[in-house]
Amino acid sequence: MARYLDLHPVDPQPRLVAQVVEALKDGALIAYPTDSGYALGCQLGNRDGKDRILKIRELDDKHHFTLMCADFSQLGHFVHVSNHAFRSVKSALPGPYTFILPATREVPKQLMHPKKKTVGVRIPDHPVVCALLEGLGEPMLTSTLILPGETEPRTMGWEVKEDLDHVVEIVIEAGETPAEPTTVVDWSDDAPEIVRYGAGDPGPFED
């Protein structure tokens, strides 16, 4: 049965944040609110957590995982951002965007796209997530919590608890959560390509 933790949406309690971080380091899979709906998350090297995310969402191994990063400096350790893309990517973050970029050697191979050697990255604009990332000290492997047969991410913690009670270790509640997923921009080639339209304004990345 999943633990249900109620964190303050603006000033999350350090004691509860520390409990979640410790659980992540012990291999937990969590469901947590972001600035674009709920997501599933685990520690970067947690292979079992990665496989569980794929199973919950009924995805194949070609799914583009996302690294939830604390800041642009951390993001730069895990993906290559071309000079051409740098200014646009940096101006969009933190915010509801996911960028697909070429992965560096710091990214475990099983998290890269098998052919393109790319990975998704984002920097959230959500105090709870920022607190978790600060405590963890590294990016968190994450995927939007869109369940099979659904088209939008979950937004209510108690509903997530009901549906995923026996497949995640922790469900975090932190008040109202937006329902729209991130805008996904693939910038693994010379020009940006919008893969999914979402909460982030696509204008800067359209021709």
Distance CA 119, CA 123 (A): 14
Domain count for the chain: 1
- Which residues, 6+ apart, have CB-to-CB distance to 176 below 8 Å? 9, 155
Q: Are strands 140-144 and 66-68 parallel, antiparallel or unpaired?
A: antiparallel
Distance CA 207, CA 198 (A): 17
Answer whether residue 62 shows pLDDT above 80.
no
What CATH number does residue 101 fall under? 3.90.870.10
Expressed as residue numbers, the domain containing 109 is 3-205
pTM reported for the whole predicted model: 0.94
Encode pLDDT of 118-149 as tens digits: 999 999 999 999 999 999 999 999 999 999 99
Answer whether residue 63 shows pLDDT above 90.
no
Strand pairing partners for 97? 183
Encode pLDDT of 68-117 as tens digits: 999 999 999 999 999 989 999 999 999 999 999 999 999 988 888 888 89
